[in-house]
Amino acid sequence: MRVLVTGAAGFIGTHVSAVLREAGHEIVGLDLMHPAAHRAQAPVPPGVRHGDVRRAADVDAALEGVDAVCHQAAMVGNGVDAQDLPAYADHNDHGTAVLLAAMGRAGVGRLVLASSMVVYGDGRYTCAEHGDVPPAPRRVDDLDAGRFDPGCGVCGAPVTWRHVGEDAAFEPRTSYAASKVAQEHYASAWCTLEGGSAVALRYHNVYGPGMPADTPYSGVAAIFRSALERGQAPRVFEDGQQMRDFVHVRDVARANLAALERVGDLASGLHAYNVASGHPCTLGEMARILAAAGDGPDPVVTGDHRPYDVRHVVASPQRAYDELGFTAEVPPAEGLADLAHAPLRTR
C-alpha cells in the first residue's frame, strides 16, 4: 500500500514509517516540524514533505495516489496550563478535521489514528462493597497530607485499581486529552459520512530511542532520562506508587502496522484499541530501572502533586490481541534499561 504518515519526522512517526517500509509499504511522509517536537531550524528528514495538516493544499497534494493514512501528527504532552487549549484545538482538532475532509475528496477510506489512554482520565476502580465504582475526587488537603490514593466514589472506602477496557467512558482532564477525544469523534463522524473504516490506537506511555529531550511537553520517561543525563536524580511526584503501563515505541509502530493491514477488513466505523505492554509498573519502579541501568543517582520521591494528574491508569490490551493479532514484544524492564543509554532527540 501507499500510506500517508502524518507527523512522519516525529518520535513515533519515524518508527511507524520505518516499520511500514520494512513490511513493504510505500510511505509518503508529511510533517510541520513543529518547535514543540523539533528544535529550531531542524532539517526536514529525507523522504518527508514539509507540510501542515491544517492546510488543505498540503494535505491534498500528499494524498495523491494514497491508499490509507496513519495520522500521527499532533501536539503532545498534557499542556502546561489552560493557555495551551487553543493550540491543542488548532493542531489536533482542526488539523484532523482538515485531513479527514481531504481524505473524503481523495476517496481514501482507511485511517489509523494515534489516540491515547489519556481519553480515559483516571483509571477504573473496584470497591469491596459497591463493586466497580468511579473514584472519589482527590482533594487538595488529602494530597498535601500525602493521601494520594482515591477512595470509593460512593462510600469513600479504599478501592483497588483495575484494567480499563475500550468501552470505558471518556473523562479527559487536560488539553491534550480533550483533543484526543475530539480526534476520535471526528474520525467516527467521518466514518459515518464517508463509509470509511478507522482504527484509533490508544497508546499508553510510549518510550524508546529518539524520544524528545526534556521539554514541558515530554513524557515522564524522557524527563527522568534527561535528568539522569545531567547527573541529576529523577524527581518522582506523589509517593511513586502511581501505576502506569510503558510501551516501547517499536511495539507502537508494530501496532500501527497490524491496524493498517486489517482496517480494510473491518466494518465501516471507528474501532478503538488499547496499545500497552501488558506489564504495568509504578512510576517509582520505572525511575529506579532507568537510574540503575544508567548508573545514576537514585530517584527522589518528592510528594509534589498536580491537580490534573491521575493516580492509576492501566488499560487492557486484550482486544488488540483478539482483533488485530497484536501483542507487545518488549517488556518494560528490558526496554527501559535500554532507554538509559539510548539517544534522545535534541533537534
pLDDT tier at 142 (50, 70, 90 boundaries)? very high
The answer to whether 323 and 273 have CB atoms below 8 angstroms apart is: yes
Q: How far apart are CA 117 and CA 167, in angstroms?
A: 12
Cα 65 from Cα 60, distance rounded (Å): 10
Is pLDDT above 70 for 121?
Answer: yes
Q: Which residue has the higher pLDDT, 77 or 298?
A: 298
Mean pLDDT, the chain, whole residue set: 93
Cell of 125: 476502580
- List of residues 6+ apart from 196 with CB closer than 8 A: 103, 109, 110, 111, 190, 268
* CA atoms of 284 and 242, how far apart (whole Å): 8
- The pLDDT of residue 79 is above 80: no
Global confidence as pTM: 0.95
Task: Kindly state the cell numbers that stand for 238.
Answer: 506523589
What is the helix (H) or strand (E) element at residue 140, kind and residue range? helix 140-144
pLDDT at position 216: 59
pLDDT of the residue at 186: 98
Q: Is the pLDDT of residue 29 over 90?
A: yes
Buried b (16+ CB within 10 A) or exposed e, 184-219: bebbbebbeebebbbbbbbbbbbbbbebbbbbebbb
DSSP 117: G
Domains of the chain: 2-123+164-340 (3.40.50.720), 124-163 (no CATH)
pLDDT bucket at 55, cuts 50 / 70 / 90: very high
